[in-house]
Structure 1
């Protein structure tokens, strides 16, 4: 479920409504209408559903997603690197498409630091830089409070035409 995180939950929702901001409600809390399309796209992604990746927060251009580790082990009995990459890539994809301009990944890089503990992985994506045609996003992947991987993705804006010189 998608959640717009704020330190004052219900109070923040009342203030948003009073200010005329359209606010939807999920099981976990409110989310501004501006993010509804990005969350809907995430929820209809078959691969994300297969891995049970869920949007848990969107705030200030940052996207947080979570994925349970159970069932995603490799032959060594630890979390498969592809599963860690997938949760990071999904967070990147949502963050890159928040502004309504379609983007596709043209490169991605991940560095693994340690094996995650049992439970849930969380990935937090945020924009690092942007040009007219591309964007760069960083994603930190956590197991509990420990960062286990760092991901960088470059997006290409398919909805923007090239400038003619």
Structure 2
């Protein structure tokens, strides 16, 4: 019989290796997104809105908000070292942000099983909720970190 893997232990034991991989996302880095918090099933990322990140109305482009939320989601669902990819997302834009604003996204795992994970991502400007995203991840069969026989 196969031993059940304790993914929280994997997160703790391989924290640095997982963290170094997820924080170095090239696309997030190109936008200036910084990972500010990383835990098992939770991630927070921050972005200072630049002048070139706005739409024709002078407010933050929805794609920028989505990219910030998606990065936090990606980090949270890959926190256990198991390759996880986005399966579906739904985003709601509530309020606009402007250049110079510091915005943050917090991804919280609601539930996870062998194949899927369910997440809620909230995007804030200061204490004001400006967008929310619901996301589902697909968890592949392999880990992107090296596990030993005891894990």
Give the TM-score normalised by the residue count of structure 2: 0.78
Gaps of 5+ in 1: 1-31, 161-165
Residue of structure 2 equivalent to 1:96: 77
Q: Is the 8 A contact 1:54 1:67 kept in 2?
A: yes
In the TM superposition, structure 1's runs of 4+ consecutive aligned residues that sit over 6 Å from their partners are none
Tell me how far 1:35 sits from its aligned partner: 2.8
Tell me how far 1:156 sits from its aligned partner: 0.5
Residue of structure 1 equivalent to 2:59: 78
Partner Cα separation in structure 1 for residue 137 and residue 91 of structure 2: 15
Partner Cα separation in structure 1 for residue 123 and residue 86 of structure 2: 18
Residue of structure 2 equivalent to 1:63: 43
Count residues in correspondence. Answer: 129
Gaps of 5+ in 2: 1-11, 143-151
Tell me how far 1:73 sits from its aligned partner: 0.8
Residue of structure 1 equivalent to 2:116: 134
Residue of structure 2 equivalent to 1:114: 95
Q: Is the 8 A contact 1:38 1:94 kept in 2?
A: no
Q: Which one has more relative contact order, counting CA pairs under 8 Å at least 6 apart?
A: 2
Partner Cα separation in structure 2 for residue 119 and residue 34 of structure 1: 34
| Residue 155 in structure 1 maps to residue 134 in structure 2 | no
- Alignment RMSD (CA, Å): 1.7
Deviates more, 1:52-61 or 1:67-76: 52-61
Q: Is the 8 A contact 1:39 1:55 kept in 2?
A: no
Partner Cα separation in structure 2 for residue 33 and residue 72 of structure 1: 38
Give the TM-score normalised by the residue count of structure 1: 0.72
Distance 1:75 1:33, change over 3 A: farther
Match of residue 47, structure 1, among 27, 33, 56: 27
Match of residue 145, structure 1, among 127, 133, 139: 127
